[in-house]
Chains A and B, each alone.
Chain A
């Protein structure tokens, strides 16, 4: 059976789901960021597949931009984690209930 673009998209979906599970389930901010990375990579895969399938460069460009954004986001997130650790706060996202009404 020929591996078509549908397979790549399927793998992308599965990875996305796994990342989603991680986001929902884990409480440590580090692991949370890692799960978000998985999700971003999954969408990158989908973009690249679409680019290859359609023959347009835009998908690759988009994927590169996503990578840059992911990197920025990781920087900020890890900065927050470090700040939290420095304040001796609990590294547990469930304790951060400032949005509570």
Chain B
């Protein structure tokens, strides 16, 4: 096994090894040790990913099936006749991008948790779960066949469930975890159905095999092709919290902040985007569904942006922001600009994690307060945090990196109804983004310091936050800035796009498209920022702005009534059915049968005990009866 292959496997299995080792070590090691060890395993994974990327980079850039695409097989996982599913990983430009993001950002977030979870008595379990999650996510992105992808998909869902419900003594996290898991399960079904089609028609689930044969086996736009793409879309939508399977994401904020950062911003929720980008051959084979992808993205980005405007919980604002940004990514993949979508994915991982972890510092400093209405004027106390979060905000609004603008420029270049809807919707969304992002900063850090904050703010003279927390957030900020250089556009070499050229192509856009789009995007963002600063400077201005929007705000506050609808459509019928089944079927049929059997046995044994009651006459009767039977038997036998 070459060092290249060995390190690829190391990247995948290091976090798993960490989880196993730390589980077995249990309470024999201190909590601090577990925290640092968990981070260490993640660091090993990241180092391996860096090495693998470096080696891959030095290979000539042939088309796939040649260099720059490596499949390493561990062993054959399952066979059934001629159908085989090997345990193999795929190392190609797209997967190493994901590997770096997952292990890099992941490692930083795990390091952040050393400080954040320091006072939690159960923090060992947290780090074990984090390592488990990292393994699952890496399995997802490194899988070379759909079955292994689905395995990683499911494991990621499991890790999400475990981590959201980490504080399982409280009801809200447990409910949120269940909700997330159930909705994710719907997505799992989608991918499974797609796999069934592949097995039936193509006899393989290997990426190579499927992508090569898909076009010839299923005609473009045929029903089968559409079903497959649609099934995959369902999976992506569930995992990435797009409409209509999005209601779990805000509730998932019940988990600790590092969880929100890692799983629900940087990595897991972007798995859907990765899936579409990876399987883009299948989506291009079903153009109608691909259009649905784009439209789903647009609708989500707009709706989420609106809801984020009225949220009062700092984490939920960022959560809806995530939903909105992923909408942009979906829109990108929907119009064929895969590498633009990946670029936004990478940039988003950095600045969204940055925002979450910065918010975590604020929450930590306020002893757990998450309501922005109780914050305000924290900037003098939390200077570094504020600065770092501004970097994140700039990234979010789209000033730098120019990821969002890349997506929209591609849309403009592509033309056609869907793409234009994306372009317009994206620009409107940019305005909303500017508003809610700035609102977040304004309410948290500026203005009058709230009385609550006065009372509860930690003494920050010794530093705003534990060192691990500040340093990791700083690292993320640096990353955000550096990532921007991956794809500057405007005619300069687009590094990322050329790296992903064969695996996840993009829509080339002209310089003029880019200039126009960027100008409009920046303008929309600036407009949003200005509006916020203008409105919040005086209360009467704020009231003037809010009054006409009252009706819309109500709708947004009720989350566009999605939760209420689901409750009526799905939860209540299921709950009623379950209660009815319990009362009628479970009680009478199942429990009744069991107790009937028990009753019969008991009655029978009670009757049988009578044979031993000590009354000799009864014994005599038994003798005679037995003798009579025997005699009868022999007599009849003799006569026959």
A→B interface (CB under 8 Å): 20, 23-24, 27, 32, 93-94, 96-101
Contacts and interface: CB of A to CB of B under 8 A. Distances in A.
B167 to A, nearest CB: 58
B619 interface: yes
A24 B617 contact: yes
B82 interface: no
Interface residues of B, number: 11
Contacts of A20: 624
Interface majority SS (helix, strand, loop, mixed), chain B: helix
Nearest to A32: B617
Interface string B162-175: 00000000000000
Contacts of B74: none
B620 A99 contact: no
Given A93-B616, A97-B614, A99-B619, 11 more contacts: A23-B620, A27-B617, A93-B617, A96-B615, A96-B616, A97-B615, A99-B614, A99-B616, A100-B612, A100-B613, A100-B614
B80 interface: no
A22 B243 CA distance: 90
A99 B609 CA distance: 13
A93 B615 contact: yes
A27 B617 CA distance: 9
B615 A101 contact: no
Contacts of B616: 93, 96, 99
Nearest to A96: B616
Nearest to B620: A23
Nearest to A20: B624
Contacts of A97: 613-615
B619 A94 contact: no
Nearest to B613: A100
Contacts of B609: 101
A23 B623 CA distance: 12
A29 B543 CA distance: 109
Interface in B597-636: 609, 612-617, 619-621, 624
A94 B613 CA distance: 10
A32 to B, nearest CB: 8
B621 to A, nearest CB: 5
A49 B525 CA distance: 127
A35 to B, nearest CB: 11
Given A23-B617, A93-B617, A94-B617, A101 B612 contact: yes
A23 B619 CA distance: 11
B258 to A, nearest CB: 68
Contacts of B614: 96-101
Nearest to A100: B614
